[in-house]
Amino acid sequence: MRKHLSRLFLESKQYLAPLQGVELDAGLEEDPSLLSAACAEPFLANLHFTLQKAHPEAGAPYWRIRSWGLSCWQPIYLALICVYHLKRIPNSLGRLHQTQQQAYVAGYALPDGEWLAGEHEALVKHTAEQLKTLFDALQTAHLNQFGGRQALYQALLADQIMTTMVTAVGASASLFDIQNEYQLWARYLDLPTDILNRLKQDTGKIIFTRRTCCLHFRRDDGELCADCPRGHKAKQEKKNKESHV
């Protein structure tokens, strides 16, 4: 139903300006310059080349990890917006097409079609099943193009989903809520749940420390992220040393 698709376009753009959506037509669906489950490798090759040219000092591990994160961030946000804000989901999320903007992925096209409403867990399940099909295709393309380990891609995806959930809810959800919701998504996306141990509440704020490192610090303009496990480990070691003085 076009009204639901239009509302998604409006809400996603209001939430994050780069999340600009358009309706997927036949011309866009066949465009090889867009990233989709059906056609990923040409897009990823170009994205990887752009990242390599923009940040040659960062090295192949960074280009690979950055490419994966950029490929996944929009589907994650759109899924959460649909489930938690619209409270209905499109039956076409797996056909999402994404656009490259220089060394970034921003903008998407989605076909109109049937939209589903219903009980919360059923919405999560159906959305996660569509995402899994999309992410599995993108992961296979990354493995074919850049190598790496499947377990690393899954761990990166788990961290990215948790980080997005914590960022999106802000102060509106409790630690218990986020733990329960993540477990629900992880069940249907077949993602690890050990990262729940990295989630805590401190002075009313929910804090998550990633299990994986995005390697942003390897860029000339980069540094350790606030949720970086490397930074967390350094702080813990410093704290332990001070406690023994």
pLDDT at residue 1, as a whole number:
57
d(CA 95, CA 35): 10
Task: Indicate whether 169 pLDDT > 90.
Answer: no
8 Å CB contact between 169 and 205: no
Q: Total structural domains in the chain? A: 1
210-235 per-position pLDDT tens digit = 999 999 999 999 999 988 998 755 44
Beta strands in 130-239 (DSSP E): 199-202, 205-208
Q: 171 pLDDT band (50/70/90 cuts)?
A: low
| Over residues 136-147, mean pLDDT | 96
Domain containing 234: what range? Answer: 2-243
Report the percentage of the chain scoring pLDDT > 90.
Answer: 82
| Cβ neighbours of 97 (radius 10 Å) | 22
pLDDT at residue 170, as a whole number:
64
Report the percentage of the chain scoring pLDDT > 70.
Answer: 93
d(CA 92, CA 108): 13
185-206 as b/e: b if 16+ CB within 10 A: bbebbebeeebbebbeeeeeeb
